[in-house]
Structure 1
Amino acid sequence: MKKIYLAIVAILVSAMAFSQGTITGTVVDGELGGPLPGASVVVKGTSIGTSTDFDGNFTLEVNQASGTLVVSYIGFVKKNISFSSTGSVGTITLQPDAEELEGVVVVGTGIIDLAADRKTPIAVSSVPVKIIQEKIGTQDVTMTLVNTPSVYVSGQSGGFGDTNMRVRGFDQDNTAFLLNGQPINGMEDGLMYWSNWSGLNDIASGVQIQRGLGSSKLAISSVGGTVNFVTKATEMNEGGFGYATVANNNYIKTSAGYNTGISDKGWGLSVMLSHW
């Protein structure tokens, strides 16, 4: 009888250990093949979730033996991944969602509908954080769009922030520049002085540009198009980073950041210091 009790206890302990564990994986772009940092990974039907790191990797603590992971990212088709045990679910590939990108521009707390009431196609491009970091170097944030169709960036040989960006041939006072959906064009002349936005590339999680007129109800000129810079939110997991860049004419820039992660009560704090 004692052996039967021990067997039952062993089975219960094994079941409890099996139902609690860690799931890992990597989320990548199905078109470019690169990682998708900041992608959302949530256990379906629960509030248990996390986001991917800079390399597209995620680690998720679960308290159930099986279920479904809902993986989503701005501008990509949502994907459901079933799991029946803890461990690695491997590489999860998300495909770009053309309809979503052509219909809306996503900002920090909602969306601005730029395609409503339009009967003609609208050209929209989205630049993820990985591409931003690769293209910026020691230049200003306009370098993220230097290879975007219908966008011309000039003034790279000048001083920092002396860039002039034209969309569809229109100057900067005829292009709407937004930060999380809020206009940042100069109030007097509508121009952009990029030297005033030197730290934008450090906090940007993505850039979205619509080329041509949209149906945005913002009272700003957008004949050339609309460019929206989306900033990072507080990371789900604790962590930090630090880096330094060096260029000619004694240019030195150092940056460091730290994220507390989301607490059990839903609070989090992100801090970044930068000097150049």
Structure 2
Amino acid sequence: MVIEQEPESIYQEARARARAEGTPVSVRHVASVCHEWLGALGVGVYLLGDLGVAEPACATTDTVERMIELQITLGEGPALTAVRDGLPVLVADLSHQQLLARWPVFGPDAAAESVSAVFAFPLLMGQITVGVLEVYRAREGALSSDELDLALAFAEVMTSQLINQVVEAGALDEEALAVDEFHGRWQTVHQATGMVSVQLSCTLAEALLRLRGHAYATDRRLSDVADDVIGGVLRLRPNDAPGIHRSRDDEHG
């Protein structure tokens, strides 16, 4: 059952969870409330990084962590479509043939993780998309009218929370956001991207594409590939093909 709540009630519950932890309220607490109130399989939040690429901010379950990392690696999926278009992407049935054609890798991999439906909502500051709120469900079916209203309220609260934290910190940085360990681990991807950029004398954007390509070609998580680069286990060569194509969802910038 949907709990009919205004944004202030969402804030109150998020603040209560933060107080119980003895930590400042953050997007992670809002995501936790969203997970529970929408009866989700999991909830994920993305932020747009310096390269204009979606990056993980938090995930409420391990499954969502994998789905977020998969979308970023592939350059395809509902969250990246929401970033590109600046509009909600509501997928009631991921097994639909049209969606499989649009997201040929993400769709089957999501199904293998027991994800049947996913709903992505852009986080907008004016006309600028700064992130995405993504809700996963294990059962097929559209959001009801009440559920959709509630999800939109969560997106509004999430955006406001981001603005508050940016204003307080004076910058959109990891420490200020007080996000979860998933986002902290993603800093290894940033470090590896910089290393590959130097090694291959290429732009950061090209270096990230090559890391993504290697992760895709070897069927590994991008964060694990980044760890290998930092540890000296892996060194990409100039003649290595990137390994993945640029999808339409990549071309939002």
Q: TM-score, normalised by structure 1?
A: 0.27
Higher RCO, 1 vs 2 (CA within 8 Å, ≥6 residues apart): 2
Q: TM-score, normalised by structure 2?
A: 0.29
| Structure 1 or 2: more strand by fraction | 1
